[in-house]
Amino acid sequence: MTPRRRGLLRRGLAAGAWLALPGRLPAQAQAQPHGSAQGVAPAEVVLATPGPGSAVSMVPELALKIGADRAEGLALRLKFVNGGGVAIRELNNGNAQCGVFGLPAAMHENLAGPRLVALAALEDRTPLSVMVRSDLKGTVRRVDDLRGRALGVHSNTLTTLTTGQQFLVLVLRQAGVAEDAVRFVPAGQSWDTQSAALRSRMVDAVVSEEPFGLRLEQAGLAFPLYRIGHPGDTGNLPGAGFLRGTLVAPRRLVDQHPELAQRLVRMVQRTLAWRRGQAPEAVVAALGLAGPEAAAFSAMLAQYPQQFSADGRFSAAQLAQTELFFRQSAGQSPETLAFRVADMVVDRWAGRKP
């Protein structure tokens, strides 16, 4: 037996043993798969999401690790990108069938036409931070001190806008800082890209989500200047309770392949149900994290236990906050004032809550 075949066998045995351990999957995730158990090959699905290792990509990454995709007759493949804007491009170009990213980014895309729909809500809270380089701690004390500086944002395209940039624009506007008074620099949406941008001094500050914000602080690379979604936050950002992590798909997928859309929602629900019953350490172990990455992820799950949805249902209150955030970040333009997020929410499988 060649070394390669021995390696594949070891990994296969390890994966089988892990899934066979009692309690690894909830009862519903141990249910008979739709495809393979009936002799039908799982449907291959490409999901685009910012990451890896981000709060936004956690649910799809976890779904793959615990086999929630196979339980629904799916063979999930993750395509990691540097921002929600790039994920949207992958959907539009047919390189991915679905994505997980910020709902406000999808709303901005739909201003040009009803292309995208929201299928499930993955987060109940959105921890986001403006993290400033540590060497600027004595210089940058308030948001208006960012005037004239280079600010790192999640990567987008010429026609898309990321949720992170919408957040930063609104934070700046609240402090009286115009968009053209700063310089936006693509800094990605992963630990590697954001830490490199700060270390190289390519940026003075960066929009960061968890667990990257926590890890940047733990590593002494940056300090938080402004935060939302964190316990004890006193900020008054309009729409701070908006929905970020969302399962999004092209409208044509729901119209032409509703069964596939339903399976995707159920895959997400299985994963959320599994996570709900696990300690942070168990989630980190399932994701295969180690070292500083594991420490930051464990801290995120422990500090923000209400961040992730319990069941994928859409909240009416959260959707109202999302509309407010979207309109305020766009400067109350006529097109955003006329936009209704309800028109792009397909809740027939995920459901609703107050």
Q: What does the DSSP assignment read for 44-78?
A: EEEEEEE-SSSHHHHHHHHHHHHTHHHHTTEEEEE
Note whether 164 and 183 are same-domain residues.
yes
Over the stretch 121-137, which tens digit does the pLDDT of each residue have? 999 999 999 999 999 99
Q: Give the least confident one: 11-20, 183-192, 317-326, 334-343.
A: 11-20
For residue 195, what are the CA distances in angstroms to 86, 192, 228, 287?
20, 6, 21, 21
Evaluate if pTM is beyond 0.85. yes
Note whether 253 and 313 are same-domain residues.
yes
Q: Which of 169, 200, 228 is the last residue of a domain?
A: 228
Over the stretch 291-349, which tens digit does the pLDDT of each residue have? 999 999 999 999 998 999 999 999 999 999 999 999 999 888 899 999 999 999 999 99
Over the stretch 30-52, which tens digit does the pLDDT of each residue have? 434 454 445 679 999 999 999 99
Question: Which pLDDT score, from 0 to 100, does residue 160 have?
Answer: 75
Cβ pair 58, 42 in contact under 8 A: no
Q: Under the phi-then-psi rule, with left for phi > 0, alpha for psi from -120 to 50, and beta for the rest, what region is 84?
A: alpha
Question: Which pLDDT score, from 0 to 100, does residue 158 have?
Answer: 62
86 within a domain of the structure (yes/no): yes
Question: pLDDT band at 241, cuts 50/70/90?
Answer: very high
Cβ pair 181, 143 in contact under 8 A: no
Rounded distance between C-alpha atoms, residue 14 and residue 7, angstroms: 11
For residue 151, what are the CA distances in angstroms to 43, 169, 251?
41, 11, 34
Note whether 136 and 222 are same-domain residues.
yes
Question: Which pLDDT score, from 0 to 100, does residue 234 have?
Answer: 64
Question: Which pLDDT score, from 0 to 100, does residue 332 have?
Answer: 82
Question: pLDDT band at 230, cuts 50/70/90?
Answer: confident
Note whether 327 and 249 are same-domain residues.
yes
306 within a domain of the structure (yes/no): yes
4 within a domain of the structure (yes/no): no
220 within a domain of the structure (yes/no): yes
Question: pLDDT band at 15, cuts 50/70/90?
Answer: very low
37 within a domain of the structure (yes/no): no
Q: Is 312 helix (H, G, I), strand (E, B) or coil?
A: coil
Question: Which pLDDT score, from 0 to 100, does residue 155 have?
Answer: 75
Note whether 113 and 247 are same-domain residues.
yes
pLDDT at 5 over 50: no
28 within a domain of the structure (yes/no): no
Question: Which pLDDT score, from 0 to 100, does residue 189 have?
Answer: 87
Length of the chain measured in residues: 354
Note whether 310 and 250 are same-domain residues.
yes
83 within a domain of the structure (yes/no): yes
Over the stretch 249-268, which tens digit does the pLDDT of each residue have? 999 999 999 999 999 999 99
Q: Which domain holds residue 305?
A: 44-125+242-353
Note whether 116 and 216 are same-domain residues.
no
322 within a domain of the structure (yes/no): yes
Over the stretch 55-96, which tens digit does the pLDDT of each residue have? 999 999 999 999 999 999 999 999 999 889 999 999 999 999
Question: Which pLDDT score, from 0 to 100, does residue 123 have?
Answer: 97
CATH number, domain with residue 296: 3.40.190.10
Please give the DSSP secondary-structure letter assigned to residue 305.
T
Question: Which pLDDT score, from 0 to 100, does residue 4 have?
Answer: 36
Question: pLDDT band at 278, cuts 50/70/90?
Answer: very high
Note whether 173 and 273 are same-domain residues.
no
Percentage of the residues of the chain whose pLDDT score is greater than 90: 81
Q: Considering its fold, how many domains does the chain have in total?
A: 2
Over the stretch 153-179, which tens digit does the pLDDT of each residue have? 987 666 678 899 999 999 999 999 999
Q: Which of 228, 261, 282 is the last residue of a domain?
A: 228
Note whether 223 and 254 are same-domain residues.
no
Note whether 87 and 149 are same-domain residues.
no
Q: Which of 175, 198, 228 is the last residue of a domain?
A: 228
Note whether 198 and 254 are same-domain residues.
no
Note whether 153 and 219 are same-domain residues.
yes
